Amino acid sequence: MSEKKKKDPVLALVPKYARGDANKAVEGISKLKDKKLKGSIKRREKTYKEAAYKAASSEILLTEDAGFLEPEGIEKTYQLSQRSLAKEVDVATSHKMFSLDLKFGPYALNYTRNGRHLLIGGRKGHVAAFDWQAGRLGCELQLRETTMFAVAQKKYVYIYDKQGTEIHCLRNHIEVNKLDFLPYHFLLTSVGNAGFLKYQDTSTGNVVVEHRTKLGKCDVMTQNPANAIMHLGHGNGTVTLWSPNMSTPLVKMQCHRGPVTAIAIGHSGTYMATAGLDGQLKLWDLRNYKPMQEYFTPTPASSLSVSQRGLLAVGFGPHVSIWKDPFKTKQISPYMNHLQAGSAVQDVEFVPFEDVLGFGHRGGVSSLIVPGSGEPNFDAMEANPFQTKKQRQEMEVHSLLEKIQPEMITLDVNMVGQMDKAPIQVVNKEKKEAWAAAHPVEATELKFRARGKNSSSRRHLRKKAKNIVDQKKVDLLERIEKDKKERAKKRAGNPDEPVTALDRFTGKRRKMD
């Protein structure tokens, strides 16, 4: 590395965009005998390094930065109310603060990946989807039955288009309590009263796999945005981590002494927050599965959410509490507080790329301003808050073409692309065991090991073949018999023809007087 690169400040930002450990990926290349494979791996790693360096270099163009509330003197940020905050912000930001008084609650809500549209669902069957920033209603339904989300009804799961027209009924998902969607894999996941975790491919319509959790009813589920692993919270206080490639949980953690009520995972995928009926709020490090901090909530928390900048929102009773940097150090006091008097909070969720927190409660849906919660710099190729209709259509096509297969969902995000350095004997043994596990019937069939014509299996086949008569065999025997007669007639020749000395080479029989 040259002196110029050593002094380059961009190199400090490269690990942020790197795809795993490059040294570990190319480890053992020098021992490869295949020169073509060795060159291919080196070129691939060089391309990855250049891409990471260019991405780090582009940060100079990201001039926006997140702004937080800064107290002066003895002021406390959690004492600032939303009414006081609305007087200090600009008009566009103040319009993002609203409250919808609805009578079909409590409500759950969900934002799109770019934070543009909002979907709400009431427990009494009221469902609505709209552009919350522009105030345009997309569709509104009254299903007249218990509804968690727009597609999870009392018995089956239904899919609606943007006009509210029912287009699909998924009868494989019965009595669903929680739904989630993996955008990079096009997988719809569900869990319900039966305790089955189901994965369904929305691009093909096929059910990929069904896992029996064996832990009873489940109504707490969230996904890890870094590796697409599903986290389920159960009634015995455990949190299990699931992948579609294994029928048993990858990790099983005893998190609480009572039922788990809420789970939230940061966007980096390394930290998890859990809440339970025991009144505890615990923060976990998913790299070693150990607790970092523990907090006490006066009322068991009903919902958790982690923003793009690492803020944690906790909904308990009629209160919504927001904590700043909870995964870094132990916090003494919250960042902001809000009281929704006379209405219990059901669901909280931060809006992507906006300093806004939405929450559903018994009396409707409300929106709060939380300075510093949203990511100020967005990647238009990933999620564009200002995308047009044509851009959205093109993005859907590209996402479908670049769909990741479910087999690539692993607990270790750096596993894909690494070189398997195990001996060929170990690799063959693993393949054989995997095949035997996937084909139990074929693996247990009896194998005849006898060799040669007089083996017991061949004698059995010959004996069995004698009793089988079909038209093909009859035609073959007739043709053999016909050829045999023609050869005999040819050898006999004409009896009136005289015999010569050269007849011995033609196969004719000598005429005897």
Q: What is the pLDDT of residues 95-153, one digit of tens each?
A: 899 999 998 889 999 999 989 889 998 888 888 988 998 888 888 888 765 544 446 67
Q: To the nearest 10°, the Cα dihedral for 372, 374, 376, 378? A: 170
The Cα–Cα gap between 208 and 187 comes to: 9
Asked which of 184-188, 201-205, 504-508 is least confident by mean pLDDT, the reply is 504-508
Judged against a pLDDT cut of 60, whether residue 2 lies above it is answered with: no
What pLDDT does 285 receive?
95
Tokens linked to 91: 């008009």
Beta carbons of 143 and 119 less than 8 angstroms apart: no
Global pTM reads 0.75
Q: What is the pLDDT of residues 75-106, one digit of tens each?
A: 899 988 898 888 888 888 888 999 999 988 89
Flag the least confident range among 243-252, 253-262, 340-349, 432-441. 432-441
**d(Cα 378, Cα 386) in Å, to the nearest integer?**
10
DSSP 342-391: T--EEEEEEPTTSSEEEEEETTEEEEEE-TT-S-SS--TTT--TT--HHH
Q: Per-residue pLDDT tens for 361-404?
A: 999 999 999 999 988 888 888 888 888 888 888 988 999 999 99
The closest of 144, 142, 147 to 121, measured between CA atoms, is 147
CA 29 – CA 42 distance, rounded (Å)? 8
Does residue 186 have a pLDDT over 80? yes
Cα separations in angstroms, 365 against 86, 108, 129, 224, 358: 18, 8, 13, 26, 7
**Average pLDDT of the residues of the chain:** 84
Torsion sign, CA atoms 182, 187, 188, 190 = negative
The DSSP output letter for 265 is E
Burial (0-12, 13-18, 19+ Cβ within 10 Å), 356: buried
Q: Are 279 and 250 in contact (CB under 8 A)?
A: no
Read off the pLDDT of residues 231-267 as tens digits, 9 standing for 90 and up: 999 999 999 999 999 999 999 999 999 999 999 999 9
Q: How far apart are CA 348 and CA 184, in angstroms?
A: 24
* Count of all residues that appear for the chain in the document: 513
Tokens 């796999």 -> residue: 209
